[in-house]
Structure 1
């Protein structure tokens, strides 16, 4: 998703809840009941729509040719590692 160029300061409520400002919700087309994916990397927290996270992962997998089996590669790697133990 392209950057929308928005910033917001959020306040953590007494129960750990945050409110996403209405202009941000509108820009992202968030509606009540939408699920968000939270990713913590170091001290950086990222929230994204769950469907966007899934689409990004599917996009990564789409670059793998059908002739390549990642499962077979993983199994081969595990077998080689077990043989050296």
Structure 2
């Protein structure tokens, strides 16, 4: 156990973490993730000709829904559109 001098602040008191702000950020992140899932589900409901007009396939949408490593679903779909445009 570490002792602190009367003039020292504890590590917790010195941190800039605000629990209300952290909770608010978590809710915003969850809301954004829900909106993305809803949008991707909506894309899956389109028929094949509509997806062709957009330049994507159902497989591209599934891949976008599983985006990882810093890639967003939008990045995955944009890359798929560019790849499919070249075909």
Which protein is richer in strand relative to its size? 1
* TM-score > 0.5, shorter chain as reference: no
Higher relative contact order (Cα pairs below 8 Å, separated by 6+ residues): 2
TM-score range, shorter-chain basis? under 0.3
TM-score, structure 2 as length reference: 0.25
What is the TM-score with the length of structure 1 in the denominator? 0.26
Between structure 1 and structure 2, the one with the greater Rg is 2
